Amino acid sequence: MYIEANGIKIYYEKYGSGAPLIMCHCNSMTHKIFDRAAKELSKYFTVYCPDTRGHGKSEKVKTLHYDDMARDIYCFINELGLEKPIFYGFSDGGISGLILASKYPDLLSRLIVSGASLNPDSTKDNMMKFFKFRSHIDRSDKMTLMLREPDITDEMLKSISVPTFVTAGERDLIKLEHTKHIAETIPGAKLKIFPKTGHTGYIMYSTKIADYILSVIEH
């Protein structure tokens, strides 16, 4: 299905019934990484899985910015008339979620982020070298985005008032101290580090993240 939000066409899939839950994917992937998790979560929630701008079937754009992605979700929620949705974001989706919750404090009922970064320095050096290489070879704005953004400040984190849950893998490409800082700075946030896993292992094409969401969200 398509909807116009923030001036562009956003493609999304919708599953199940119940309270609204939005799942936002990582850089260079699509909503399909949540197929297994969404199927499980749809037993309890109405699950919305959009392709973010410039990804999948959503409209292509000249340049990518996290502020625009967050605004897209704000407009998506309003266009669909969703009442206090739960927002889950993985990696780039998590960054968008942090920005969204800081700018629109009354919009969401819960915020769950996995593998989100505060700034380019949040990413381990070896992965930044890889992103720079890919950006040079592919001329891809998706890679360039991660080299220049985000810029999430402590003031933004402190302004998040919605109940928040922060996760990462023990071997995540995001530095552990940055993930801990997010959880420690957002008032009342809860932190979960998944053992013996990296950035994607407990999320992509997996029900593990669904199990976690169900464990922390009343349903």
pLDDT at residue 127 in the model: 77
**Residues 6 or more apart whose Cβ sits within 8 Å of residue 139:** none
Tens-binned pLDDT, residue by residue, of the chain (219 aa): 999 999 999 999 999 999 999 999 999 999 999 999 999 999 999 999 999 999 999 999 999 999 999 999 999 999 999 999 999 999 999 999 999 999 999 999 999 999 999 999 999 988 778 777 676 676 678 888 998 999 999 999 999 999 999 999 999 999 999 999 999 999 999 999 999 999 999 999 999 999 999 999 986
**pLDDT score of 70:** 98
How far is it, in rounded angstroms, from Cα 4 to Cα 8?
Answer: 5
Closest CA to 91 of 151, 33, 25: 25
- What integer pLDDT is reported at residue 133 of this predicted model? 67
User: How is residue 169 annotated by DSSP?
Assistant: E
pTM, entire model: 0.96
